[in-house]
Amino acid sequence: MRILIVDDEDNIRGLMIKYLATDGITAIGAENGLSAQRKLLESGFDAMLLDVRMPGMNGLELLKWVKDEGLRLPIIMISAHGDVESAVQALKSGADDYIIKPFNPEEVTMKLKNLVAAQRYVNIAESKAGSDEGFFIGESEPMLKIKEMLERISKTASNVLITGESGTGKEVVARAIHAKSNQSSGPFVAINIGGVPENLLESELFGHEKGAFTGAIARKSGMFELASGGTLFLDEVGEMPLQLQVKLLRVLQDRKITRLGGTIEIPINARIICATNRDLEKMVTEGTFREDLFYRLNVIRISIPPLRERQGDIELLCIGLLKRLGSEMGKRVDGLTPDAMARLKSHSFYGNVRELENILERAVIFADGPLITSSCLDLRGSVAKPDVIASIEAAPREAGQARSLKEIEQDAIIQALRRWEGNRTKASEELGITRRTLINKIAEYNIDL
């Protein structure tokens, strides 16, 4: 880090140069604005500490010159006590912060570090603009391999199976494949198999004719038809009932569907991408997932690693997420302070990228400035699965009486629902079950919070 300190007072320049040196930061002094101009043109600096009042070219004039030249560096203005009006004018002209003499060198150093970190976030975000980072963010070895695979498979029509824990970004990968494919001009149609009641799932997928069942007052096209010429994404395919697995297999073989209650075969022209967070091989062994369907779906396999196994990607993910969240909320968010980033990198993220997004969304709401500090990060709602298991095992038992599996399961569901304030989607993700399964369990145990 290189800092330019512009002040006509020798003692202030000397103090800050020595203090920053103790923190491993190189600082160069300039006693007036013209000298600072020359040094800025001669070499690069990461930030500038700039006095407002100086003979010749003052701080406000130098600030205007820096902005006119398009130099990209954060600037902290130094203002004398009672000259706050000039500091406010400097902020309106593009300065990032100001301090009032006499100041605490430690506080100034922290401000400089945070501003430099934020500027680096902006630089990285801009360098990624126009690339595929908007689809799938990460530069760790596993993610680079996945990106390379996407380039190879996108132009084909082969079925793709995406596996990974909840929140890893399986739909993001599916959308990236679609966007790079020959079907990119067609629709991307997604359906969450686990989120549709079983008695409605067949109609949603294949459509129905008028009068096919009670309430079918008109013909309806299913997802396979709606995705014609594009991509159909079947999320949580492991939740598909066995009787529908047979129909899906037939569709994949014949490339035709028949609407519920109909007799006419309709050709389909959609690429099929499936995703699951379950172990399909184990389900095949247990007889809950058809082996022939598994091999039909598993032509190309993409396994997304959990975020805790690629923590080097957290910084890039934060850049992309904060850019979007800041825009959605109408707030300026440049990045995180170094201590906030360190705290995130030490977190386990059993909820993966979705958990990171939720944490950042809360942080943006409560952030008072352009940088998210460690105090803005609330990790209390992030529950690691080992903690869930531990809480179940530590549940109290009556003397001499072992708790049944049903009692343990019921307690785990109640605890998860309370942790997420009744949010069934979040609770089901924590428990590692589908939302539909959770709803059935709530009804089975008559749980009423």
Shortest CA distance to 89 belongs to which of 113, 49, 53, 37? 53
pLDDT of residue 400: 44
Give the integer Cα–Cα distance in Å for 41 and 103.
28
For the chain, the domains span 2-128, 139-303, 311-376, 385-445
pTM metric for this prediction = 0.61
Beta-carbon contacts of residue 332 (< 8 Å; ≥ 6 apart): 326, 370
Q: Please, how many CA atoms are within 13 Å of residue 449, restricted to the half-sphere of its CB?
A: 15
**What angle, 0 to 180 degrees and rounded to 10, lies between the N-to-C axes of helices 338-345 and 314-329?**
120
Pair type for strands 256-258 and 265-267: antiparallel
pLDDT in tens, the chain (449 residues): 899 999 999 999 999 999 999 988 999 999 888 889 888 887 778 899 999 988 888 899 999 998 887 787 899 999 886 677 887 888 888 898 888 888 899 989 989 988 888 877 666 655 444 344 444 677 888 889 998 999 899 889 899 999 999 888 899 899 999 988 988 888 899 999 988 888 889 999 999 888 888 877 888 888 998 888 899 999 999 999 999 999 999 999 999 999 989 888 889 889 999 999 999 999 999 999 999 999 999 999 999 999 988 888 898 889 888 888 888 888 888 889 888 888 898 888 888 888 898 899 999 988 888 889 888 888 765 444 444 433 434 444 444 455 577 777 888 888 778 666 678 887 887 787 888 888 888 888 888 76
Structure-derived torsion over alpha carbons of residues 251, 253, 255, 256, reported in degrees to the nearest 10: -50
- Residue 353 has phi, psi (to 5 degrees) of -65, -35
Residue 233: alpha-carbon gap to chain centroid = 20
Are the folds of 2-128 and 139-303 the same?
yes
Domain 2-128 homologous superfamily, CATH: Response regulator (3.40.50.2300)
The DSSP output letter for 208 is B
User: Distance (Å, rounded) from C-alpha 58 to C-alpha 6?
Assistant: 10
pLDDT of residue 390: 39
Query: According to the CATH classification, is domain 311-376 in 1.10.8.60?
Result: yes
Crossing angle of helices 338-345 and 105-128, rounded to 10°: 60
Buried b (16+ CB within 10 A) or exposed e, 173-200: bbbbbbbbbebeebebbbbbbbebeeee
For domain 385-445, give the fold.
Answer: Arc Repressor Mutant, subunit A (1.10.10)
The pair of structure tokens assigned to 184 is: 């990119």
Contacts 24+ apart (CB under 8 A), 297-301: 297/159, 297/161, 297/237, 297/252, 297/272, 298/159, 298/161, 299/158, 299/159, 299/160, 299/161, 300/149, 300/153, 300/156, 300/158, 300/159, 300/160, 300/161, 301/160, 301/161, 301/163
Q: Does domain 139-303 have CATH number 3.40.50.150?
A: no
